Amino acid sequence: MAKRGTCTNVSYRTQSPSSPPPPLDLKDRVKCISLSEPNKSKLKLYWSVIRPNVVYGCETWILKESIIQKLYVFESKILRKIFGPTKDANGIWRIKRNKELDELIKHRNIINYVKAQRLSWFGHINRMPETSIVKRIHKWKPFTGRPAGKSKSRWEDDVRNDLK
């Protein structure tokens, strides 16, 4: 059996080398769709180009629930385009659920990526010399107290929650 791309095509072996490859029959097309090689390259493209551009500067973000939700929605849309629909046991096509997408990417979602980047930046700040401007700004305490009412979350609070 010879391979054409990622799909097996038995009749391809019987033809002369100068002739073009035969068109895939429906059975081979389904095999091509079900194999994950094209998805791996699309996923690598997403992880190496799209996601870093979306979360540029995320080391300093304060993650609010609204931002988390928007990032999850964005990532789910992209992953659904990459992995495509799923065929149920009864033959009906449907979109993949969030849980299935999370298992396909092995729980390496965009929020975990942002948290990892933020912890990396926190470690970088702590290793800086005391004379560094970034470290002095990080350690600076304002002269006035915080306003009354529900306090807004701070970057340091988010980092502490990430460490837990």
Q: Smallest Cα–Cα separation from 54: which of 39, 35, 38, 73?
A: 73
Per-residue pLDDT tens listing for the chain (164 residues) = 444 444 444 444 444 455 555 555 544 544 444 445 678 888 888 889 989 999 999 888 888 899 999 999 999 999 999 888 888 889 899 999 999 999 888 888 999 999 999 999 999 999 999 999 988 888 888 788 777 777 778 888 888 888 88
Q: Domain spans of the chain?
A: 1-35, 37-163
Which residues contact residue 93 at a Cβ distance below 8 angstroms, ignoring those fewer than 6 apart? Answer: 85, 86, 87
DSSP 8-state symbol, 49: I
Q: What is the predicted pLDDT for the residue at 3?
A: 47
- Mean pLDDT taken over the chain: 79
107 dihedral zone (left: phi>0; alpha: psi -120 to 50; beta):
left
Q: What is the predicted pLDDT for the residue at 158?
A: 87
Model confidence over 105-137: pLDDT tens digits? 888 899 999 999 999 999 999 999 999 998 888
Q: What is the predicted pLDDT for the residue at 120?
A: 93
Q: What is the predicted pLDDT for the residue at 36?
A: 53
Q: What is the predicted pLDDT for the residue at 121?
A: 92
